[in-house]
A = this chain, B = another copy of it.
Amino acid sequence: MTSYQQTIDHIKTYTAKITQAIPETMRAFYALSRASSTAGALDTKTKELMALAIGVTSHCQGCIAFHTRAALQAGASPAEIMEALSVAIAMGGGPALMYASYAVAAMEEFQNLTE
């Protein structure tokens, strides 16, 4: 089974090629991504947990990989991640539970890497 780190590496390989081909689009996308995750009225941890919850309800494995890792890096605890998944499950029903389970798998993988 592909690890979540491999998923991130795979996506990064190809987004690098997208950046070469359409640099203005990607520059703007990264500016948007950065603007939305920078601490302001809400801190980065909260914003990454939100992005993770949206990744779960959007059925997006790549998003789950990136935002689970980013949430952990921003200091989110497993309990906080689980409660973000709780919101995703209430808002996304059965399919969200399926993807929430992947977020937990990603969380365990990235916790092991950082311990």
A113 contacts chain B at the CB level, 8 A cutoff: no
A contact face: mostly helix, strand, loop, or mixed: helix
Number of copies: 6
Residues of A within 8 A of B (CB): 1-2, 10-11, 13-15, 17-18, 21-22, 24-25, 27-29, 31-38, 40-42, 46-47, 49-51, 53-55, 57-63, 66, 77-80, 82-102, 104-105
Choose among B35, B49, B63 the residue that contacts A50 (Cβ–Cβ < 8 A).
B49
**Contact A33–B94 (Cβ < 8 Å):** yes
Chain B residue, CB-CB nearest to A54: B91
| Contact across chains for A57 and B59 when beta carbons are under 8 A apart | no
- Known contacts A89-B93, A91-B51; A36/B32 CB under 8 A: no
